[in-house]
Structure 1
Amino acid sequence: MLALRRACNPLKFRGFSVGTSRACCAKSEIVFSYIEGKATVVEPPQPVSERPRFYHSTNIGSKFYLEKRGFASQAGAESSESDEDLEDEFSELETPISANESVVNVVQLISEPELSDDDTNDIGEPSQNALELSDNETDPAEKRLPRKKAPSELFKAIISAPGVSVHSVLDKWVAEGRDLDQLEISNAMFNLRKRRLFGRALQLSEWVEANKRKDFDERDYASRLDLIAKVRGLQKAEVYIEKIPKSLKGEVIYRTLLANCVSANNAKKAVEVFNKMKDLELPITLFSYNQLLLLYKRHDKKKIADVLLLMEKENVKPSLFTYILLIDTKGQSNDIAGMEQIAETMKAEGIEPDIKTQAIMARHYVSGGLKEKAEIVLKEMEGGNLEEHRWACQFMLPLYGTLGKADEVSRLWKFCKKSPRLDECMAAIEAWGQLKKIPEAEAVFELMSKTWKKLSSKHYSALLKVYANNKMLSKGKDLIKQMGDSGCRIGPLTWDALIKLYVEAGEVEKADSILNKAVQQNQMKPMFSSYMIIMEKYAKKGDIHNAEKMFHRMRQAGYQARSKQFQTLIQAYINAKAPCYGMRERLKADGLFANKAMAAQLSQVDAFKRTVVSDLLD
């Protein structure tokens, strides 16, 4: 762990070392300040108490403090991670959960966004608000039981009546004397979550409890809590926690809330929940620490080393997911040497990088201009035998496309084409699109359309993005019409691709209108990138009014303010050559601080900036 902290610490923008964090360096944003009793925001370090905790403050100079208090039990239980991602929403409906398992295993329901930030796409997948990658960490006793492949009749009944409440469907189901055992309920819940129909899943959970179809245990309550947070927001989720019996209000409940705070990018609330777990003396598992790492990866990378120090103090060993987070963080900071050092530390700890870890490293090599290193990693992923490493193809195809290796893309696709899989088809479409080979991308989509009876919006969006990137508005419109004719459900992924299509074609106002209509006509939240691409265009034009409007609409949609949004907004003022009043106060109110780049921006729009000329005039 010491080697890992050393590898993670000298992020190029970090102003102090982990060693100094032990000594409570005043420059640290997380200070290991040890205080007795209830802590307040203080400036100098204090004497040691018992157990570490985070403190969130809008005071920019001292946002977070750690208090030392003792854990009730060691949080070193081994955690496991599953490579099982949520499949596409329209793929074959399968895998009911075993009847003796809870309504939904909490592992499955606590899904976290992808490793990349909202503005960075993950390997071969859309941005984090479209798909979620689960940390999937459980105690050994909580590992999911084998599932049988079988359709869910209850699930089909629920989705076939979109205008009818789930409660009515279930009442009718029971009135007809149809079977409604735990297996059927679990299977329906699983498939509703798989299709991200969280509102209907919540109604199902409410009906099951109200009709006493089963006695809820901690994981059932955690499932309900997760759905409430996703559908009704964090505040309603906190209210629901108060209704959970005290005996069942354990670590699983609070880590579910913590994960949703992180998913909502609500740093202040996430820290509050983490401290609450410590106040209740709940065991803090690796899952919760990974949530903090995920949070600070997005919001304040300087705090990552401090979380690792806390993990070391509590003897919580990092998992593969932890290392992936750290490797991706280093890559995003363009610290290739640091990224490689973390990978070596991971191997030294006996954890071999999986294909996705290798793909992330290869992507960062490409973005860093180290094409030869990227190609070496790609060959390692292939392992000299595509038959044995076929899963790597979906990651390798777009990477070779980025590298401009048309021959490699052709070779891999020729291999996959014999018995194509949906993920490989989408990866091939992306790869051909990057190579500007539109007919080849269209040919893959045509093959996909003939092979599978019904495609989802996710599959259409792959080709739609190719058209958007190549400013092919007419073809994009035709594809959208084809989607509508096929009865395909249009959601956030399609909106995002459609918005990008119009933005790239120079029709920003039309893209803005599409986004506004999507919000008004649908209950699903648009992707973060959908707002940002429009906001960035307004900022580029110096259109302060519309940039501010988009900033406000993002907040209305539930996206917490982040540095990227503020930087884009400030750029609008810079391009408009207009002063920006109260921006520092707005940052402070959202618990953010100006990094070096943002501070330089603010200095350009400071209405009260002193200059030699202004001093002479005064």
Structure 2
Amino acid sequence: MLLRLPTTATSKAPLFRHRQHGRLSSPFFHSLSFPSGFSSSTRLELVTTSSGPTSVAIICALRSNSRSHVTANYEKRPKASWLAVYKRLSSMPDPENGAASVLDQYEDEGKKLPKFVLIRVIKQLRKFSRYKLALEVYEWLENRRFLITTREIAIKLDLISKVDGISSAENYYLKLSNSLKDGRVYGALLNAYANVSEKEKAEALFDKMREQGLIKYALPCNVMMTLYMKLKEYDKVEEIASEMMEKNVPLDIYSYNIWLSSLGYQGSVEKMEQAFEQMKLDTSINLGWAIFSTMATIYIKAGQLEKAESCLREIERRIQGQRRLPYHFLISLYGSVGKKEEVHRIWNVYKSSFLNIPSMTYRGVISSLVRSGDIEGAENIYDEWLSINSAFDPRVGNILLGWYVSNGFTEKTEVFFNQIIATGGQPNSWTWGILADHHMRARRIPEALSCLKDAVSDTKSKYWRPRPETVSCILQHCEQENDGASKELLFEVLKEAGCLTDAKYMSICSGNELEEDNNSDDEETNEGAESIFNQLLPAA
């Protein structure tokens, strides 16, 4: 049954939170509490026997009476709640003081910080990408001589890779004794390699895990398949999936999703459908909405819109409870199919289902309506967003501004931009980049360069780079008009944006379009980059 607006008003459910399903590394890193009944004085010692592998002995240290008295007093302290600790850490006035200053203050206040509280705090910090703070809490916990499990070692390794880089994570791993390097720790390092696309190191570690019989579950396979997807080595994704089936390693929903995606990216819709039929026979798999979203995307790319719409109807049938994410995909995919009526229908159902609608969702529906050709509808929703949002998000307006520029609506472009400024909106780097393209179309080079300078000066948009087409057009003008001043300003913009050290980007700017199959000649790439670099160098 398709989603329809309710005929009568009903009370709205409170906002909910959903998990980010795309994060394949998360199952490595769930904390474990030490069994109840063991105090911090209890420790595990690894004991090697002549008859077999290392075993674990539980050693209980004897305490003096005075020490027992101190411990008893500590146990009587009130326990701090994890949420209170998390909030105090998150709102530190000076993060440079580190987590230790906050945790020490808790102890000074006479409050107890059990390990399970700190592990819960770390989990929450990681959820919101506060990796440095999470690592500092771990280090504080270790300094208090709490027992650390291999699962927690894996989490620390993951945090080190994110905070200090892959080399530091490797050094931490190498210092661990072999007895502590179990599947979780191997998995954490594998995931760290995959995150930075260290293909050779990831493959070598994956082979080592094979040799030690640690590939018993889907997660390490999913990490490798995700890495190959990122590197566009789709045939290797299929090899991993085949190996899993040969060795009876159960595929999970993520395994199937990645496998189907790889087949779709290779343009093999028929093979994708065969894999889907095999998936339906797997009784351990629940066919949720996400798999149909993947298939719809592939069908749209292949131009098979009827099959795509059939998948979208399956998504609607599978929406359960207060979950926003399926609606976001439906709105986006119906926009890609060009069904503006369906975009409006899903949007109205979404608005009736949730009390609060974030700017991100407005951005998504405006983008979908623009892609489906309903500019008037997109403008109306933008006006609605302006009327109810107190905080201006330039990303919402950038969608319409970009459409006006790319379609030559000069007057609308200027009116719209002036409206942003008049309402107190703060343009971001992408706003200035769009406006630079607007000036380029009218051959107003100084104004275009001024916009690029404003774009690169915005510290909030550190990943912004000017469009290669814009750079190429400005450079062409500078050569034709012998405009050294504009060339020098362009050089400074590219330098500040970090473009000059990116050989691929610079090569595209020089007109050497690179193949997407990663078979481009590095020497040709570097020559193209050096060519445009030399053109940009200011005259001595």
For the residue of structure 1 that corresponds to 2:100, the secondary structure is: helix
Name the counterpart of 2:237. Answer: 304
Cα deviation 1:160-207 (Å, max 9, x = unaligned): 114232221222222122342234323322221122111111111111
Write the letter of the residue equivalent to 1:474. Answer: F
Name the counterpart of 2:366. Answer: 432
Matched, 1:161 2:62: no
- What's the CA shift for 1:410? 2.1
- What's the CA shift for 1:288? 1.1
CA root-mean-square deviation: 4.8
- What's the CA shift for 1:227? 0.6
Write the letter of the residue equivalent to 1:157. Answer: R
Change (3 A) 1:593 1:323: closer
CA distance in 2, matches of 1:140, 1:205: 14
CA distance in 2, matches of 1:286, 1:385: 26
Change (3 A) 1:465 1:549: closer
The counterpart of 2:351, out of the listed 397, 402, 417, is 417
CA distance in 1, matches of 2:142, 2:291: 41
CA distance in 1, matches of 2:511, 2:179: 56
The counterpart of 2:172, out of the listed 236, 240, 248, is 240
Change (3 A) 1:289 1:245: same
Matched, 1:134 2:24: yes
By percentage of residues, which structure has more helix? Answer: 2
The counterpart of 1:394, out of the listed 305, 312, 328, is 328
Which aligned pairs between 1:195-214 and structure 2 lie closer than 5 A?
A: 195-212=128-145, 214=146
CA distance in 2, matches of 1:216, 1:604: 48
Change (3 A) 1:348 1:395: same
Name the counterpart of 1:190. Answer: 123
CA distance in 1, matches of 2:269, 2:253: 19
- What's the CA shift for 1:326? 1.8
Matched, 1:474 2:417: yes
The counterpart of 2:261, out of the listed 324, 328, 332, is 328
Change (3 A) 1:462 1:353: farther
Name the counterpart of 1:361. Answer: 295
| Preserved CA contact (<8 Å) 1:293 1:307 | yes
| Preserved CA contact (<8 Å) 1:219 1:252 | yes
- What's the CA shift for 1:357? 1.5
- What's the CA shift for 1:249? 1.7
Change (3 A) 1:177 1:204: same
Which aligned pairs between 1:142-541 and structure 2 lie closer than 5 A?
A: 152-164=83-95, 165=97, 166-212=99-145, 214-278=146-210, 282-283=214-215, 285-299=217-231, 300-350=233-283, 351-383=285-317, 392-420=326-354, 426-435=360-369, 436=375, 437-442=377-382, 445=385, 449=389, 460=393, 463-467=396-400, 469-470=402-403, 471=405, 474=417, 478=421, 501=434, 505=438, 530-531=464-465, 534-535=467-468, 537-538=470-471
Change (3 A) 1:413 1:252: same
- What's the CA shift for 1:234? 0.5
CA distance in 2, matches of 1:480, 1:231: 39
Write the letter of the residue equivalent to 2:90. Answer: I
- What's the CA shift for 1:283? 4.3
| Preserved CA contact (<8 Å) 2:218 2:250 | yes
| Preserved CA contact (<8 Å) 1:93 1:191 | no
| Preserved CA contact (<8 Å) 1:442 1:463 | yes
CA distance in 1, matches of 2:247, 2:378: 53
| Preserved CA contact (<8 Å) 1:258 1:273 | yes
Cα deviation 1:15-43 (Å, max 9, x = unaligned): xxxxxxxxxxxxxxxxxxxxxxxxxxxxx
Structure showing greater radius of gyration is 2
Change (3 A) 1:370 1:179: same
- What's the CA shift for 1:405? 2.2
TM-score (structure 2 length as normaliser): 0.65
Which ranges of structure 1 fall in alignment gaps of 5 or more residues?
1-90, 96-107, 115-132, 144-149, 484-493, 577-582, 607-618
TM-score (structure 1 length as normaliser): 0.58
Q: How many pairs does the alignment contain?
A: 430
Write the letter of the residue equivalent to 2:385. Answer: F
Change (3 A) 1:513 1:246: farther
Which aligned pairs between 1:547-566 and structure 2 lie closer than 5 A?
A: 553=498, 566=504
CA distance in 2, matches of 1:94, 1:385: 15
| Preserved CA contact (<8 Å) 1:359 1:395 | yes
- What's the CA shift for 1:501? 4.7
For the residue of structure 2 that corresponds to 1:152, the secondary structure is: helix
Cα deviation 1:466-513 (Å, max 9, x = unaligned): 345435672796599657xxxxxxxxxx97855765566568766865
CA distance in 2, matches of 1:479, 1:354: 46
| Preserved CA contact (<8 Å) 2:456 2:497 | no
| Preserved CA contact (<8 Å) 1:464 1:497 | no
Change (3 A) 1:604 1:206: closer
- What's the CA shift for 1:335? 3.0
CA distance in 1, matches of 2:271, 2:360: 32
CA distance in 1, matches of 2:127, 2:319: 32
